[in-house]
Structure 1
Amino acid sequence: MIPAGHTAVMASRREPPDSLEFFPTPPWATRALCKHVLPHLGLQQAMQFCACWDPACGEGHMIEVLLEYLNGGWGSDIFDYGRGYRVEDFLDERTVIGSPEDGMAPEFIISNPPFRPAAHFVRRALTLAPVVAMLLRTAWIEGVERYETLFRDQPPTLFAPFVERVPMTKGRWDPDASTATSYAWFVWLRGRQPMAPFWIPPGCRKALSRPDDRRRFAVQPDAGPLLATAAE
């Protein structure tokens, strides 16, 4: 387990197969969940005491930010990115459920899952935790198959689209990227009826970005001989 706030998130990188759809989450988009969406659901107090699991954590872009707000948590992924997180297939029913330290079951499952098997991620997560939040394209709310296998009987408690775009780039987080794709948080609370949509307000990218995000989460260019010498 990598401690929260680790300062060398990009120190070691392993490229996953293309089939894994690795699109790291901008840190501010996760903070928007914690600062706006979960409080809108009345979960401020629960966040102080509950543990979280990100079962598609990649290089830690989301779980490390979640640990800024939640009491504890851990990450896992089907691919070993060389970051020290547990390597396992979340969709395999034999997967160990619980934290690596004490086996405690998660009360939050929060993730940016691969788009194609995302419905399978949600259905499994709903059997394991009372609060499930998934970051997905807003277009994910469409589709007959998803409606029949998920939304008809298990609609999200809250559909929370971002007013501003959330740029995601394949394989790495680029703090300067832009995008035409829109994203939303889909949140399920066990036993709670669906609520009206909640629009995540504009300005989050600026307000919720932190000065050290680039150092912590962005891929750093290789230093040439002159830079390496100067750093020494």
Structure 2
Amino acid sequence: MSGELSSANSRHPWDWYVEERWVTHRLADFLPLDEGVTYLDPCCGSGNIVEALAERGHQAFGTDLFERYAGARFLGVHDWMGDQRHLLEASDALSIFFNPPYSRQNGALVRGLAEKCIRRAIEVATHKVAALLPVKWLASKGRYNLFERDHRPSGIYILCERPSMPPGDVIEQLGKRAHDGGKVDFMWVVWDLLAEPLPHAPTFWIPPRAPGRSEDLKLERAA
């Protein structure tokens, strides 16, 4: 999962950074989600994207390299970028929503890791792919081909409220108190695989949540 720490030496060795469920709910508020489609998060971590989609009434499941998700929607340990495909990937109506690892695997730098995960998702999915990424990810010479030549996004959804995305091991220690204000701007990049590519990818700004809701969450974390 892409994280909010900038120092390579301080990053989680597997890029396990945990977004809160509201991050997915806010996307669902602005992006029409397909009915009758299975949603897969192949890097599900603690399962927040899966649970958020399920809370919206969608059939959603998750897999991961590690068993970090205790929910019934966890379909087991699976290497998304490995040679073996999961049975769910053969679904004829599949969307993939995920927070892909950005640059680290077992402590080692893997260049282009998030892009490789996204290209795999576009290959496997039949309907939509939505990837949660830092906004700065858009400005890259190396990813120009992904965006313009190979797979132009159908929409870029910028979160105007910065999400807090601490490492999963910190959450294991501190619980909800680990989420304490975001430091990095994030966005959802969406590919609609059934739609004709547009001349340019439209950009949407998702407004912050109502102030009262944010304050309620702060009090909840402090309890």
Q: TM-score, normalised by structure 2?
A: 0.74
Q: Which protein has the bigger helix share?
A: 2
Q: In 2, distance between residues paired with 1:52 and 1:205?
A: 30
Summarize the alignment of residues 49-88 of structure 1 with structure 2, pairs less than 5 Å apart.
Answer: 49-81=36-68, 83=70, 85=74, 86-88=76-78
Q: In 2, distance between residues paired with 1:131 and 1:82?
A: 23
- Percent identical residues: 28
What displacement does 1:174 show?
4.2
Contact 1:112 1:135 in 2 (8 A): yes
Matched residue of 1:159: which SS? Answer: strand
What displacement does 1:18 show?
3.1
RMSD, aligned CA: 3.1
Q: TM-score, normalised by structure 1?
A: 0.71
Matched, 1:199 2:205: yes
Summarize the alignment of residues 1-232 of structure 1 with structure 2, pairs less than 5 Å apart.
Answer: 18-36=12-30, 38-39=31-32, 43=33, 46=34, 48-81=35-68, 83=70, 85=74, 86-98=76-88, 104-116=91-103, 117-129=113-125, 130-149=127-146, 151-171=148-168, 172=171, 174=177, 176-190=179-193, 191-194=195-198, 195-203=201-209
Q: In 2, distance between residues paired with 1:170 and 1:158?
A: 28
Q: Which protein has the bigger strand share?
A: 2
Matched residue of 1:28: which SS? Answer: helix
Q: In 2, distance between residues paired with 1:174 and 1:145?
A: 37
Matched residue of 1:188: which SS? Answer: strand
Equivalent position amino acid for 2:145 in 1: E
Deviations 1:8-30 (A, max 9, x none): xxxxxxxxx93211111111111
Q: In 2, distance between residues paired with 1:94 and 1:132?
A: 20
What displacement does 1:205 show?
7.6
Equivalent position amino acid for 1:61 in 2: N
What displacement does 1:71 show?
2.8
Is there any run of 5+ residues in structure 2 with no aligned partner, and where?
A: 1-10, 104-112
Distance 1:203 1:33, change over 3 A: same
Is there any run of 5+ residues in structure 1 with no aligned partner, and where?
A: 1-16, 222-232
Contact 1:50 1:106 in 2 (8 A): yes
Q: In 2, distance between residues paired with 1:109 and 1:205?
A: 31
Deviations 1:164-187 (A, max 9, x none): 211111122547511221000000
Find the structure with the greater CA-based Rg: 1
How many equivalent pairs are there? 191
Deviations 1:85-142 (A, max 9, x none): 310111113122417xxx7455210001111211111101111112100111111112
Q: Hey, which bits of structure 1, 4+ residues long, moved more than 6 A?
A: none
Equivalent position amino acid for 1:192 in 2: E
